[in-house]
Amino acid sequence: MQSVNPADNRLISETIPMTSAEANEVIELTARAQNRWRLTGFEMRSRNMHRVAELLRSGAEVFAELMTREMGKPIRESRAEVEKCAWVCDYYADNAREMLSDRPVQTDAGKSSIVFEPLGVVLAVMPWNFPFWQVFRFAAPALMAGNGGLLKHASNVSGCAGAIEALFREAGFPEHLFRWLKLTSNQISKVIANAHVKAVTLTGSETAGRSVASAAGDQIKKTVLELGGSDPFIVLRDADIASCTSTAITARFLNTGQSCIAAKRFIVVRDVLDIFTDQILRKTAALQVGNPLDEATDIGPLARPDLVEELHRQVTRSTAQGAKLLLGGKKMKCPGCYYEPTVLTDVRAGMPVYEEEVFGPVLVIIPVEDAKEALAAANDTKFGLGASLWTSDVRSAEKFACEIEAGSVFINGMVKSDPRLPFGGIKWSGYGRELGVYGIREFVNIKTVWIK
C-alpha cells in the first residue's frame, strides 16, 4: 500500500498489508481490551478523551502537514480539520455520560427503564478525503460509549492512520483498544466475519457501501453508512446574492471539491441567474491554485491521478451533451494531480455532472424557472445527504426545507457537520447517523429493563 504526495507524485511511504492471521491476532487483542474498557466509568473515559484533544491541539502543525502531504488538502484547511477533531473529542468527553444515562419510563412495571450498553468492537472503514475528521467522528463517540475500535483506513493515508492509533495510545487508552488494521479493501469481508467484530461503519462510495453492507448483512451485524452526495445549492429569486455566492465558493471548492457534503448542483432561478453566474465566475477565477503547503493556496491537487481522469471524463462528456463551459475544464500541465477550477452552466438531467457525484473543483449551474422547478431538480437525484437553500423568506424556507429529500437542510448557510447535530443521509447517501446524541447511540445496545 503506497502513500504518494499528489502535489508532485513522489512516493512518501509503503506499507505491507497484514496477513489474515496477523489481523485476527490484532482483533483478538482489541476484543480483550474492550472487555475491560466497557467496565470503566465515564470519568476515566472522559479524562482520556480530553487528553486526545490536548494532544491534537499541541501537535496540530505536524498532523496538518501530514494530511496535506498525503492527500493534498490546503494546509489552512488541514489545521482546521485537526481543531475540529479536538472539538468532537471534547464534546463527547463532556456529554457522553448524560447521553447514555439510564432513561426511566412509566409502564405497568414497578420499575422500567432504558439502558445503553456498548456493542463491543466496531470496525471503521474510512476514506482519504478528511483523513483525521472522519476517523474521529466515529472514534470519539464509540470509545466514550465503551466500545473498541478497528480502523481500516484508505491506503493512501497510512501515515494518518498510524498517527491516529498512536494518539489514542499516548492519551492513556488501553494499548489495543483502538487499532489500525493494515489491510487492503479485498480483506475487509474477512474482518467483518470475525466473531469479535460486532458492527461496521463506513464512509465512502456507494459501491463500497454495498459491499460492506452485504458482508455485514450476511453476518447480521449493525452498519452505519455515509456514502456519496450530490448536494443541491438552491438559489431563489429573493436570495442575498453577494452572501450566497461567497458561501457558494467555499461550499463547492473546500478540500478542492473533494467532500461528500460539498455543494455540487447549483440550482438557480433564472431571475437571478446572470448576477449569480457573473459573481461566481469572478470569485472562482480569483482562487489560487498551487502547492497545498503554501498558505496562499486555495485549491490543491486532487488526491490521486485516477480522480483527475474521472473528473475530466465527467466534464468533457457533459459539454459534449450541451453543457456550456464558462471557465477551466482542463487538466493542468504541471507535476501533480491538478485540475483547473471549472464552472459549467446550462446543465440538465442526463449529463454526468448532473447525475453523478462530482468529486473535484467543478461548479455546476442548473437554471430553473421558479421555486417549484428548483425543488423538483433538487430531489431529482439518487443521493440525499445535504442541501442548502437561499432566500430572504425564512418562514417559507422552513416549509420548503421539509420537502427536500436530504439528511440535513441548511437555510442561508453552507452544509457542514457539527458534533452537536446528527449527520447522515438517505437514499444512495446511506443510512444511520453520526454525531450528536443519535450518533453515540448507533453502536450501543438499547436495552429495556422491566422489573415487577
Residue bearing cell 463500497 = 208
Annotation marks residue 402 as catalytic: no
Residues contacting 358, CB < 8 A, separation 6+: 230, 257, 264, 311, 314, 364
Rounded to an integer, what distance in angstroms lies between the CA atom of residue 34 and that of residue 177?
6
Q: Give me the catalytic one of 81, 260, 356, 434.
A: 260
| 3-class SS of residue 445 | strand
Nearest to 385 by CA among 235, 263, 224: 263
Radius of gyration of the chain (CA): 22
Residues contacting 211, CB < 8 A, separation 6+: 188, 189
Annotation marks residue 334 as catalytic: no
Q: Give me the catalytic one of 226, 356, 357, 442.
A: 226
Contact 377, 354 (CB under 8 A): no
| DSSP characters over 275-305 | HHHHHHHHHHHTPPBS-TTSTT-SB---SSH
Residues contacting 343, CB < 8 A, separation 6+: 277, 280, 281, 284, 325, 326, 327, 328, 362, 363, 365
What are the DSSP E strand ranges found in 126-228? 148-152, 178-180, 197-203, 222-226
For the annotated catalytic residues, the residue numbers are 226, 260
